[in-house]
Structure 1
Amino acid sequence: MGICFSKKRSDTDESVRHVEFAGGNVHLVTTKESWDQKLTEAKNDGKIVIANFSASWCGPCRMIAPYYCELSEKYPSLMFLTIDVDELTEFSTSWDIKATPTFFFLRDGQQIDKLVGANKPELQKKITSIVDSESPAPQHK
């Protein structure tokens, strides 16, 4: 399981910075306003939000990004967001991000779960658990 700890990024390769983090149904959040807009949208649609706080220089973040995109396509009932901790430094600090990637699971803007590190099985388990808890129980006649 990979975790990266905070470091200063170099601006050497801006052109490919976000390519690996956006895709599928993953929304790249680049401003506090777009964060607020996505949370409002999720609340109105009754969706759980999974927020991936990551960094372009973080190996484990890059490793799990394609899997995160796959999950976003597999679970359209959830809203998948990615926040670059270097781009939104103050905002990320307000979430007390100590390592990347850190995944927050939010219902109506409130944290219901959290996962630190690029742990694919644990991420899948938490998503499955959330989806199962959101699904109405089958009706037996």
Structure 2
Amino acid sequence: MRGNSLFRPFLLRRSLNFRPFSSSSSSFTIPPIRTPKTDSSRPENPYPDYVRDHPAFADYLSGYPRSFEPPKFGFEAEIEEPPVPPNVVMVNSDEEFEAALNKTEGESQLGIFYFTNKGCVPCRFIGPVMEELARRNPHVTTYKMDTEAKELAGTVEKLGITTVPTVHFFVDGEKKDEVIGSDVARIVLTTRDLMDG
């Protein structure tokens, strides 16, 4: 055990090629940094003239062709939004709202009035749901209204719309129910109940 401890510093010094500083040597010199040698026989531009004059050479050096477009993946080309169903009608003014309300009264059918606006995040979530609901119930008309439209200010104030999305259900010109917020399950169930009743 003692022999191992005596040889350990010697072996460590030998393996690391370590020389301890003595008290007499107070300074040491740092070797100069070697710079790579340049080959003067090598040309500055190794490409021949016919390559440098080619129009695609600049594209090769830049890494991108001049008509560069980001690559499209297969699934991006395949995804297409389905068209808006014909029974989803945009209402753009107070007069159009009154005409739509009179139509639901005359036909004795369910009319869904969907209030939304472009800056509403829950409306972006519920919008495709409303379109799919209209697609599955072609005999029910969904009237879509933008609450930020100035032409609909009277209707929004008259119905007391303060939150979007808001969905009103009218039968025979009379409001039967309403859903405030993006409660998809309640919208679907209310539609089904009013259609069955």
TM-score (norm 2): 0.54
**Is residue 2:131 matched to residue 1:39?**
no
Alignment partner of 1:23 out of 81, 84, 88: 84
SS, match of residue 50 in structure 1: strand
Corresponding residue for residue 75 of structure 1: 137
Post-superposition offset of 1:23: 2.2
Q: For the residues of structure 2 that align with 1:40 and 1:96, how far apart are their CA atoms?
A: 19
Q: How does 1:1-141 map to 2 (within 5 A)?
A: 23-24=84-85, 25-87=87-149, 88-133=152-197
Percent same amino acid among aligned pairs? 25
Dislocated runs of 4+, deviation >4 Å: none
Higher strand share: 1
Structure 1 vs Structure 2 CA RMSD: 1.7
Equivalent residues of 2:114, 2:143 under 8 A apart: yes
Q: For the residues of structure 1 that align with 2:84 and 2:154, how far apart are their CA atoms?
A: 25
SS, match of residue 99 in structure 1: coil
Higher helix share: 2
After superposition, the C-alpha distances for 1:60-91 in whole angstroms (9 at most, x for unaligned) are: 11111111011111112322111111112232
Segments of structure 1 that go 5 or more residues without pairing to the other structure are 1-19, 134-141
Corresponding residue for residue 139 of structure 1: none
After superposition, the C-alpha distances for 1:89-138 in whole angstroms (9 at most, x for unaligned) are: 232111111210111111122111010011111111111111111xxxxx
Post-superposition offset of 1:27: 0.6
Aligned residues: 113
